[in-house]
Amino acid sequence: MLLYITSLNVNFFLPESIFWTTSLTSVMSLLSLLFDCFLKLARPNKYTQVHKDTVISIMLLIWNMSFVIGFLPLVGWNNKDYTARFFNFFPWPYLLFIASLISGCFIACIAFMFLLTKVFNLLKASGPDHSLERPFELQKRHHIQFTIVADFVMWLMCYLPFFLYIGLTCPQCLISDYAQRDTTILYFIPVFTLKSLLSSALQAFRTIKI
């Protein structure tokens, strides 16, 4: 049956759609966590603990948005149905769209990390009395910030080469004549798997310290 895989009326890109969904969810969740940390440090009196129902609602909204965007190619935004080739199925405008969304979240994360660093420096420079008002809270936020930064660096190390590869080998790009461009994408899967394992281990280790 595999010899006639191209003649089957089947779309083979459900895993890729799940990948886009989870990738977008992950980076948007990271952005929301950074935003939460920033508000709690910058405005501790005005911004209190987020209610559990609010957190659940935000996560549901993020997952629903990511699900819709990730599955757009399977519901019609594609070049060709019933193909086993990555670039024959995913249109270049969609790849540019999803990459722009994830990259935009990356840039926003970098901005919030700079803001968090600035807030920490201001708290340290404001004097020992102000810093000691909430020592446990500051230490807790510092641990969370370190975890976020480490996770973000791993994200960047995985996704930057992946997006560069897509940007170079797409049908409208510089090396679109590369014969193995569709199959080479499979080699990125172990990289993302390793990143997920390392992120889980790091978050578990840092959570114990918090």
CATH number at residue 35: 1.20.1070.10
Q: How many domains does the chain divide into?
A: 1
In a domain, 41, yes or no: yes
In a domain, 7, yes or no: no
CA distance 97 to 92: 8
In eight-state DSSP terms, residue 5 is G
CA distance 137 to 158: 32
19 is written with which tokens?
Answer: 């990948």
The range of the structural domain enclosing residue 186 comes to 12-209
In a domain, 6, yes or no: no
Asked whether the CA dihedral 21, 27, 29, 32 is positive or negative, the reply is: negative
**Which pLDDT value is given to residue 142?**
64
**Which pLDDT value is given to residue 48?**
62
**Which pLDDT value is given to residue 161?**
85
Alpha helical stretches, state H, 43-174: 52-70, 86-89, 92-125, 128-131, 135-169
* pTM, to two decimals: 0.74
CA distance 77 to 95: 11
In a domain, 5, yes or no: no
**Which pLDDT value is given to residue 69?**
92
Backbone angles phi and psi of 44, in degrees to 5: -65, -30
Q: Are 157 and 151 in contact (CB under 8 A)?
A: no
In a domain, 2, yes or no: no
Task: Write out the DSSP string of 31-63.
Answer: HHHHHHHHHHHH-TTT--PPPHHHHHHHHHHHH
**Which pLDDT value is given to residue 28?**
86
What are the pLDDT tens digits along the chain (210 aa)? 344 455 555 566 788 888 888 888 888 888 887 887 777 777 766 666 666 777 788 888 988 999 999 899 888 888 777 777 787 788 888 888 988 898 898 888 888 888 877 877 776 666 554 544 455 556 666 666 677 777 778 888 888 888 888 888 877 777 777 777 777 887 887 787 777 777 767 666 655 555
CA distance 159 to 99: 10
In a domain, 170, yes or no: yes
